[in-house]
Amino acid sequence: MIFCTKDSWGLNIEPNAHIEKFPDHQSAAEYLLEDLKAVAGVGPDGFKSAKIEPGRFSKFWFTIPTPADLDPADLDPFPADQLLIIPKEENPSGTMAWVTPLPPVLVVSHSVPDKHRPGYE
């Protein structure tokens, strides 16, 4: 499975990001680029320069009061064994438990429509 999110700025994934899963990299890339293509008005090959790579979480994906408060519905699209849960006693905030996925989550870190690149013809 490939995980990805559109909720990012560069490589930085936003807290509480909506994360999708796909069977392969191509499907994930199509999902990540679909909105950019519509906004930029470029065709399906217009983002050859887009860079899709694993993003990073600043501290966590989302927070919960305690690990016991974790609702299985909150885990989607990850199984529980693919999440790192840091109890509030073990993280700097001291107020909430941090939940972060272990598998890479892909993002678009660079996307300039090719028609705006120097030398585009």
Instruction: Kindly tell me the sign of the dihedral angle through the C-alpha atoms of 77, 79, 81, 85.
Output: positive
Q: Where are the domains of the chain?
A: 1-55+104-121, 60-102
Per-residue pLDDT at 90 exceeds 70? yes
Judged by DSSP in three states, 102 sits in: coil
> Do 49 and 108 form a contact (C-beta atoms < 8 A)?
no
Burial degree of 92 (CB within 10 A; 0-12, 13-18, 19+): exposed
For the segment 25-66, what is each residue's pLDDT rounded down to a tens digit?
A: 999 999 998 877 666 555 555 655 678 899 999 999 999 998
pTM for this prediction: 0.81
Alpha carbons 30 and 47: distance in angstroms, whole number: 11
> What percent of the chain is modeled with pLDDT above 70?
79
